[in-house]
Structure 1
Amino acid sequence: MAANGARLPESDICLHGIDHEGRGVGRWQGKAVFVAGALPGETVRWRLRQDKKSFALGEAVQIHRASAQRVVPPCPLFAHCGGCALQHVAAEAQVALKQRVWEEQMQRLGGGMPQQLLPPIYGQPWHYRQRARLSVGKTDSGEMALGFLARGSKAVVDMDACLVLPEAVSAALPRLKQRLAAWQEAIGLASIAFSDGEDSLVWVLQHRHALTNAALAALQALAADENQHQGKPWHWYTQHQGSLTLLSATATPALCYRLPEFGITIAYRPDDFTQINRHTNALMVHRAMQWLAPQPGERMVDAFCGLGNFSLPMARLGAQVLGIEGVADMVAQAQANAAANGLAAQCRFAVADLFAADVAMVQQWGMADKWLLDPPRAGAYALVQALAALPQAQRPRRLVYVSCNPATLARDAAVLAAAAYVFRAGGIMNMFAQTAHVESLAVFDLAG
């Protein structure tokens, strides 16, 4: 029903495609329509939600002819929870749909497909998510709710288990709600985040109000009780006004993930950005190093370097690496990671706003044979424009671009194509199974 009580229009439609949010795509009244819950090849009864000038949004209410790839979602909360978008699609078919979305974006916005289409990296379909922030709210009965936000809403979908979280984390959710419910209002508990490292798991209780002595004692008791599961120590922090405080009396925990192929351990803190799926990340780094092929003494640049996820493997393979990142604290941690892995002499890290990059900025970093770019969803538009504007002799001969947004990758690929770069290879990596998120890697070579 609409807000005014009127019944929303329904009709039948055949879907021919899928968009970057996992919605089925069809045609209705001469415009594109995006139908949540529908798949390519299906005929569905759909309900109109928004009618825009050039497109419409809706949702499937009945499946008349189902896709052969449709499955029953294993999670009972799937219809409402915003944590997943594709549980109604078989795991291998999800990868195929993402590949289709990626190819369509490259052709439509990027000007064409790569010369070589890389085989997809499938990853793990379940229990892969090593980092998440769960929101705290209230159920209809007034009890504490803990989970992801509902689709298109700020309401919290209450979870007692979750198939994409680590099994130990999923099993702990009912206990945490039971222990924290009495203090939810008093401390203004807003969210519970976790980070599952190789050797320890860290929880962060984010709260709006200062802790009373009684609340602090209760949280310390929780931390003492929930201090180890499946052979891995658990550590607990509170976070108030951005400040992290360790609850347990033990030494500050060391979070890390490893890249065994390169003998590298990368340390990080609970509030640092890291990939949420370390297993697929290791495969992604392997693929990037295959295409970069670092050589001893070769000079390389890692733009948007973060904590050194790609910089350190480059250095381990012999390259001299300049890592560039916009956050000074992350640059300091990347340098510390380089030193801890015995690579300080081969790595240098610098702070720069890569979203404001220009030719002069790039030139001051010096020439490099190869670059790796790993930008956020906004892409690397200013940086690729600056690289494209360099004199031909100063341009890197190979760019490896790791993307979490096919649309911005395609936009940036078009800039590189206009600057004599050949789209050499590209393909997707299923970093976020059960979601519509598309991670990919693209390789660009300077012509001639």
Structure 2
Amino acid sequence: MSKRRRKKALPADPIPCDIEKLSHDGRGIAHLDGKIQFVDGALPGEKVMAKYVGTRRSFDELRATEVTEASPDRVETPCDFADLCGGCSLQHVAPDAQIGFKEATLREHFAHFGGIEPEQWVPPMRSDGLGYRRKARLGVRFVPKRDAVLVGFREKRNSFLTDIDRCVVMDPRIGERITPLRELLYSMEAYSRIPQVEVACGDDVAAMVVRNMDPLSDADRDKLLAFGQAHELHIYLQPKGPDTVHRIWPESAGRDDERLTYRLPSFDLTMRFHPMDFTQVNADINQRMVDHALDWLEPQPDERVLDLFCGLGNFTLPLARRCGEVVGVEGDDAMVVRGRENADLNGLTNARFHGANLQGDFTGESWAAEGFDKILIDPPRSGAQEVCEYLTAFGARRIVYVSCNPATLARDAGVLVEKGYRLVKAGVMDMFPHTTHVESMALFERAD
């Protein structure tokens, strides 16, 4: 039997690093004897002392322990836990430099995929970096050695939970209640059997979904009910899979009653959603993103518009206010139902929702038979490469592509350009301040 290779000990002392640029995940990049070094907490142009935290054949991983020459883009972090918590990676970077980094990332990806360049770069859509985050999954862990329950996000690049007592980037209805939530969970009989709490915020109400691995005692349920009442939070339990999520405070009148809401005032729309539904984390950016997408698409009263990956109708229903007919298509059947609910809620009869597999040829579907004048796409991180192969069948003059991944947007842009579309304009949106997440939007027009 072969012996297990002993892990090589990491150097104990910090070493000097000259930082050249940022990686796409927000770490500083340096070199030592030709080997790449990724340095957490370091900025381009800085000289830092950094400690080894990991090593691989082709690169090393370090964490800055001291900044000996600081970049003018370095700022004080608004959060006491920013150096350790994996929820944010760019809090030490000035807002202008953060958005510049995201623009550069999008440019690099366009250049990488065939040298594509939009005819116009639009100014970035900026956001307030504090109190914006409305959706999150908080990890929960009981640590016997400390006799304590931790609540928070995972530490940078490992599986440990950061011991936080508040989160300044989350909606204050949640971010300012981390400590009382932790105290609540520690006081429960099930303190060691709750692995996570999902949180979701609407405009008027915030909710917590507690994942309970065992049935809760009456005493534990009472504590959760009291917590919800005291902090004006809706409380849900999830004993098994997502389908088991149910509200216990306020008392539910049925699944259709278990909804939060957000508004899109530019279109006089109220959108209802379940706490486990996908919604955008940043309400301010979402409102402006929808406004911009429709301004770019320019839907007309006599036009038929297709909204792919439509979710619960975040773009579909605003489009219905402007065009003759809109068809929303989504692969998740629950979201198709939610879209129809929201159309009915807002009295819209010219919006139709359909479920379909968007990984293959859908041009033969009944809803696709009449073609579309314009198309909006808002795919997941994996993008819409298969979809883009079929879009020319509809003859749409204009396509707006909303992306949460610059790599797949650039790849799919290459497909659309090959299919006869021009990349007219593109820009980034700061949906996730203090992170390296790049949200962007691009407009394509048929070349002929």
1:367 corresponding residue in structure 2: 371
Aligned to 2:153, which of 148, 152, 155? 148
105-114 or 145-154, larger mean C-alpha shift: 105-114
With over 3 angstroms needed to count, the CA separation of the structure-2 counterparts of 1:187 and 1:119, relative to structure 1, is same
2:397 corresponding residue in structure 1: 397
2:122 corresponding residue in structure 1: 118
**CA displacement at 1:184 relative to structure 2:** 5.9
366-375 or 63-72, larger mean C-alpha shift: 63-72
CA distance in 2, matches of 1:373, 1:155: 37
147-156 or 61-70, larger mean C-alpha shift: 61-70
**CA displacement at 1:133 relative to structure 2:** 1.5
Contact 2:141 2:192 in 1 (8 A): no
1:239 corresponding residue in structure 2: 238
**CA displacement at 1:194 relative to structure 2:** 1.8
CA distance in 2, matches of 1:301, 1:62: 53
CA distance in 1, matches of 2:42, 2:279: 32
Aligned pairs for 1:310-321 within 5 A: 310-321=315-326
1:328 is aligned to 2:329 = no
**CA displacement at 1:358 relative to structure 2:** 5.7
CA distance in 2, matches of 1:316, 1:359: 25
198-207 or 368-377, larger mean C-alpha shift: 198-207
Contact 1:187 1:208 in 2 (8 A): no
312-321 or 206-215, larger mean C-alpha shift: 206-215
2:281 corresponding residue in structure 1: 276
1:300 corresponding residue in structure 2: 305
Aligned residue pair count: 435
2:416 corresponding residue in structure 1: 416
1:447 is aligned to 2:447 = yes
**CA displacement at 1:12 relative to structure 2:** 4.2
With over 3 angstroms needed to count, the CA separation of the structure-2 counterparts of 1:216 and 1:363, relative to structure 1, is closer
1:25 corresponding residue in structure 2: 29
**Unaligned runs of at least 5 residues, structure 2:** 1-5
**CA displacement at 1:5 relative to structure 2:** 3.3
1:91 is aligned to 2:91 = no
Q: Give the aligned residue type for 1:372.
A: L
With over 3 angstroms needed to count, the CA separation of the structure-2 counterparts of 1:238 and 1:420, relative to structure 1, is same
CA distance in 1, matches of 2:247, 2:368: 42
With over 3 angstroms needed to count, the CA separation of the structure-2 counterparts of 1:13 and 1:431, relative to structure 1, is same
Contact 2:189 2:217 in 1 (8 A): no
CA distance in 2, matches of 1:322, 1:104: 34
**CA displacement at 1:37 relative to structure 2:** 1.8
1:353 corresponding residue in structure 2: 357
1:221 is aligned to 2:226 = yes
**CA displacement at 1:336 relative to structure 2:** 1.3
Aligned pairs for 1:191-210 within 5 A: 191-210=196-215
SS class of match (2:177): helix
With over 3 angstroms needed to count, the CA separation of the structure-2 counterparts of 1:30 and 1:36, relative to structure 1, is same
With over 3 angstroms needed to count, the CA separation of the structure-2 counterparts of 1:13 and 1:4, relative to structure 1, is closer
SS class of match (1:356): coil
With over 3 angstroms needed to count, the CA separation of the structure-2 counterparts of 1:64 and 1:108, relative to structure 1, is farther
**CA displacement at 1:31 relative to structure 2:** 6.0
Aligned pairs for 1:99-178 within 5 A: 99-109=103-113, 111-139=115-143, 141-178=146-183
| TM-score, scaled relative to structure 1 | 0.90
CA distance in 2, matches of 1:405, 1:374: 11
**CA displacement at 1:250 relative to structure 2:** 3.9
SS class of match (1:383): helix
CA distance in 2, matches of 1:184, 1:171: 24
**CA displacement at 1:221 relative to structure 2:** 3.0
Q: Give the aligned residue type for 1:378.
A: S
Q: Give the aligned residue type for 2:445.
A: D
**CA displacement at 1:197 relative to structure 2:** 0.8
With over 3 angstroms needed to count, the CA separation of the structure-2 counterparts of 1:297 and 1:112, relative to structure 1, is same
1:180 corresponding residue in structure 2: 185
Q: Give the aligned residue type for 2:343.
A: A
Contact 2:125 2:428 in 1 (8 A): yes
- Deviation string 1:70-99 (CA, Å, 9 cap, x unpaired) is 012222211110110001011222111111
Q: Give the aligned residue type for 1:130.
A: R
- Deviation string 1:333-373 (CA, Å, 9 cap, x unpaired) is 10111111111x21111111212346556994541111111
Q: Give the aligned residue type for 1:235.
A: H
- Deviation string 1:33-79 (CA, Å, 9 cap, x unpaired) is 433222222233445533344x5544434433221000122222111
